[in-house]
Amino acid sequence: MAAKAVGCAGELMRVLGLETTCDETAAAIVRLNPNGRGEIICDEIMSQIKEHAAYGGVVPEIAARAHVEAIDGLVRRALAKAGVKIRDLDGIAAAGGPGLIGGVMVGLTTGKALALACGKRFIAINHLEAHALTARLTDGVDFPYLLLLMSGGHTQLIAVKGVGNYERIGTTLDDALGEAFDKVAKMLGLAYPGGPKVEAQANLGDPLRFDLPRPMLRRPNADFSLSGLKTAVRLEVEKLGQLSSDDIADLCASFQAAVVDVLIDRTRAGLRRFHDSCGAPTALVVAGGVAANMTIRRALNRFAAEAGLRVVLPPPELCTDNGAMIAWAGIERLRLGLASGMDFAPRARWPLDENAARVHNGKA
């Protein structure tokens, strides 16, 4: 369905997006222009890193309370920076899951209240779909494409065939990639959040010092398994005993090198399966917080160049959780007439491919 021209002259649509699924509170306004491309007008984000650092990870109760305290101010700031009133918007989009249920409830309740009070359409957004569609906001990618989604809770290869039309090609059988980075960081005594700290240490270390495993390498399926790699790091830590700064850097570098080898191998397998199912992809799209890792980005760029495939890596700030991706997913859905009812319930689990088999860790 073609998008109907609404809103101010010279533009098609403006949507407010709210993100509260984990430890970032975000409110953003995105505009759909007449050329069909999106434009981020403002993207306000409040990080909760300080609140959770002492615990070495996200505490759901603290996260939910922080969302409650921050979200109204972020919405006011976003509207002020965009120079618009709520009445000027064409819809309110809020992440409806998957995520920490307390946080999801905060964003959904706020989005519904704003939509009801102002008579605007409400759209509940799958947080994973927002990541999946970000490349269409930043780079105008056409369907179908292969998505490599890497975050703290998910590691998946997905055929993105259209808005709301997804086929899961591969998934993690245990730990998600971001979770593995954080757990390795904790083993090595690195501060939260662990992923960036491991990357920084890896840049200082020798990736050949420790012979770590490459789980699932050369398997015909496109699934991932990361718990064995994480365990191998733990065993090396136990053998070393007291860790020197060189030990930490070399372990991080060896771990990251193993991760890169696994990602390239699994993506290659996923590409073969995509061809069998959907034909040639228009691009390899990489999304999720781990996609901000520069070593991984460079490796995927090399792989795509060798495969003769376009690779799309959104800017690092749009790989981590943000409101702009929620707002854009809302625009994508409103263009097709897909709004949500006020009875939409928050979801801790919300797979993109509802028909895919559920793996035992419950995260896929």
Is beta strand 91-97 parallel, antiparallel or unpaired with respect to 121-126? parallel
DSSP 69-122: HHHHHHHHHHHHHHT--GGG-SEEEEEEESS-HHHHHHHHHHHHHHHHHHT-EE
Distance, in Å, from the CA atom of 286 to the CA atom of 325, rounded to the nearest integer, reads: 14
Mean per-residue pLDDT, 331-356: 95
In whole angstroms, give the CA distance from residue 15 to residue 92: 6
Question: Who contacts 189 (Cβ-Cβ below 8 Å, separation ≥6)?
Answer: 243, 248
Q: Is the previous residue joined to 144 through a cis bond, with omega within 30 degrees of 0?
A: yes
Q: How confident is the model at residue 6 (pLDDT cuts 50, 70, 90)?
A: very low
Of 20, 26, 14, the residue nearest 95 (C-alpha): 20
Could you tell me where the DSSP H helices lie in 190-291? Answer: 194-202, 227-240, 245-278
pLDDT digits 0-9 by tens, 65-116: 999 999 999 999 999 999 999 999 999 999 999 999 999 999 999 999 999 9
Residues of the chain with CATH 3.30.420.40: 13-135+318-335, 143-315
| pLDDT at position 2 | 32
The CATH class of 143-315 is: alpha beta
Looking at the DSSP bridge assignments, the partners of residue 224 are 172
Q: Among 232, 159, 127, 171, which Cα is nearest to 361's?
A: 171
Q: Residue type at 270?
A: G
Q: Which amino acid makes up residue 299?
A: A
Give residue-wise pLDDT tens across range 242-273.
999 999 999 999 999 999 999 999 999 999 99
Cα distances (angstroms) measured from residue 40 to each of 28, 81, 324:
8, 11, 7
Half-sphere exposure of 312 (CA within 13 A, CB side): 25
pLDDT at 1 over 80: no
Collapsing DSSP to helix, strand or coil, 159 comes out as: strand
pLDDT given for residue 359 in this prediction: 66
pLDDT band, very low/low/confident/very high, at 159 (cuts 50, 70, 90): very high
What is the architecture, at CATH level 2, of domain 13-135+318-335?
2-Layer Sandwich (3.30)
Band of pLDDT at residue 364, cut at 50, 70 and 90:
very low
pLDDT of 11 higher than 70: no
Tokens coding 66:
């922080």
